[in-house]
Structure 1
Amino acid sequence: MTSNDLTDHSSIPSEAALELLYGLREQALERGWSGTTERNVPIAEVREVFHRTVRLTGKEKELPNRIISTYLRELDGVDYIKASKKTDRERVPLPWSIKLLPVRSAIKTTPPMPPWHSELAWVEEYWALPRTTAKIRAAYEALNVWLHSATASQIMPLPVRERALRVFGRHGYFRQPQHPAEKILDTLKARPLFSDSDTLLKLICAFRVDPPLLTKSFRSIHLEEGSGYHPIPGKGRGLLIIENSTTYWSISHMLGHIDHRLGHVAWGIGHSFQASIGSITHKDQISDIVYFGDLDVSGLSIPIGAGRRNPSRLPPIRPAVELYDALFRLGTPGHCLPKEAKVSAAKAEELASWLHPRHRSQAVALMLRGERLAQEWVGLDYLSTDDRWCTDVR
């Protein structure tokens, strides 16, 4: 029996104390803790995590030190932490620091290999090497499953972040908050495969797209093979804002191939849109503003924040209903980053309030589960085969 196998139920820490413990562990893991050794945590970090994870009510707000002291004693008493004997000498003293105790064994075992697709048969000699981390193995597994899939041989080329979601977005490892699937190939450079960009892109049938140069024109743009970017005049005065650059590229590309009345499309650059909306004037002759972004706390807060700064001379921001429809239909949820993972029901309702009524309850449920849908799920493969997406934005 380990020290964490509690048989005396009277010694089990309170739920709030355990929330503090989980918050401390989560932060330590994000900062590189392996979980196999003790981890020193200064009391300042304990306070930070406490105020982020524990909600105080009433008179409790006046006694944070006393509550922290109680929780730390509870956790120390069952060997989850070790508190230093040195204190900060406050009226209600707190330990100078604490040590998180290990949560897993340092002995590493290599998981069994899956049956490899012929394109990945060479992975066998790298699988058990010390430098092959759990992340790299998970990437090989996800790629192997994708290559074995029935549609892998019939795919069309996609921008790399859209392809990354199809390859990695359904693997449990890459649905965790610290590993957003659409961005995995931005940073994964392990040898031999992931460091060889040309070979990798050919294998996964993907290509890289660069974010556009920013202009005041908001013009829809189209990338023809070998010709670069050039503007395509729109027939209307509507402005479509896209949160992320890859989806912006794919939608702009498709607007060059379909009959549409959309006058302008712009890359919102995430939260930058909240400020940049103020640069729109009467001279731009914008008749309506439609927004499409990630379905998560951050992505839904952007149009709300922009709307609050939106001068009365401009039309209100409305959602791209059919694009959000497609995102709910096509996407596999991943977990939000820790800072966004917890949201109250009231806050979730507020963030979803600007969406179309048929999407609000789905968005609220997604946020309350601490999950997200990256807009790159609505990729070039869908946009080029289904014209429903543009019916409410053109």
Structure 2
Amino acid sequence: MSEFFNQLDASKRKRIPLDEVKRVYYSLYPEVQNNPERQALLLHALRDLENQGLLSLPAPGGWEKVGRPPLPTWVALVRKTRVTDTSGYSEVAWVPELGFWPKLKPMQLADAKAINDFLLCRRDSLTLVPIKERSLEIFGDEKRLDALRTGTSLFIGRLPLTALGAFLVPLPLPYRQASAPGKPVLVVENHNSFWSFGEWNQTVLRYSAVVYGAGEAFRSTGQALGQVLLEVGGYGAEYLGDLDPKGVGIPLDFNRGSDAQGLQVRPALDLYRWLLAHGRTRKKPECRGAVAESATAWLGPELGETLTELWAQGLWIPQEALGFEQLKAWRYSD
């Protein structure tokens, strides 16, 4: 759990909002994403850090009104003064990439010095390798670079991972290939739908592969999706998720994060259209507070407006409403 705290502690903010807490936790423990007890597991982790005196949780008014269990809307880091001897660092032969070293906090200088020593020895022989391999080489700890980075950079964006010959390896995306090269792949949010669409696609050959997006973990899997497209000979990617704010936000976040790579997913509009016309709705009062613009941004004006009206009623539609039996009976046009 110290790794969880290390990444929270790397934030510039003392008070960290719940969205960022979740992002850090699920990036470290992606297997928790689809666990029905994920809220309880995260709360247990936060309580553990609170008991260690590393962070504090808000008073009752600072917690969610719903949830199983409700979570704090923010956590506050308890940053104790750490005394570090900074003498001697001015005598180090710093490489140009670390020319910003005088601006670092005392606690950061030891890490910067270890990186500096590595770069002095390996300046002309760097090959891009996974971040944990490079971290073990530099620090003797395969997780240290992960704790230091913010996004894909170290020391609040001053040092890119590429300067160390390292890169983030995305979680591999499970997929089921079909004999349909040249067609798009379909990414589905949930694992039961992964089976149903994968089985159906073996007969209809509508997609070159069906890919399991693993819920919120899909947000940071751009390189992995590119690898899937390469392996199956696919052309383009469609996405289908739950018709709730989170299910809409996942592909939008993916597209924003993938801009630099040029890889985007587009909505599987006819599948969404079927769900909005025939899918079984469920109640979720928090949908009433959802941002309507996100529905339109993902589904376009017509379907986006229909979904916004659904949310206004406190309703949503699980993607499982379009299940295996419905797919087998569906007559679609390519």
Report the TM-score, using the length of structure 1 for normalisation.
Answer: 0.39
Larger Rg computed on CA atoms: 1
Relative to its length, the structure with more helix (as a share) is 2
